[in-house]
Amino acid sequence: MAEYSISNLNKVVRGSKRATYDVETIHTILDDGFLCHIAYVYNHQAIVIPTAYARKGDKIYIHGSLKNRMMLSLLEAGTASISVTHLDGLVLARSAFHHSANYRSVNIFGTVKKVEDPIEKMEALKYVLNHMIPGHWDNVRQPNEKEFNATLVLEIHIETASAKIRAEGVVDDKDDYNSSIWAGVVPIKQVAYDPISDEQLPENTKIPEEVLRYVSKNKS
CA dihedral 109, 69, 60, 216 (to 10 degrees): 120
Residue 159 backbone dihedrals phi, psi, to 5 degrees: -85, -40
- What's residue 29's pLDDT? 97
Sorted by where each begins, the domain ranges of the chain are 16-173+182-189, 190-220
Average pLDDT over residues 176-187: 95
Average pLDDT over residues 40-59: 94
Mean pLDDT of the chain: 95
Average pLDDT over residues 122-151: 96
Alpha helices, H only, 64-114? 69-77
Q: What's the CATH class of domain 16-173+182-189?
A: mainly beta
- The model's pLDDT over 140-166, given as tens digits with 9 standing for 90+, comes to 999 999 999 999 999 999 999 999 999
Q: What is the pTM of this model?
A: 0.91
- The model's pLDDT over 195-218, given as tens digits with 9 standing for 90+, comes to 999 999 999 999 999 999 999 999
Is 21:171 a contact under the CB 8 Å cutoff?
Answer: no
Confidence of residue 93 (pLDDT cuts 50, 70, 90): very high
- What's residue 1's pLDDT? 66
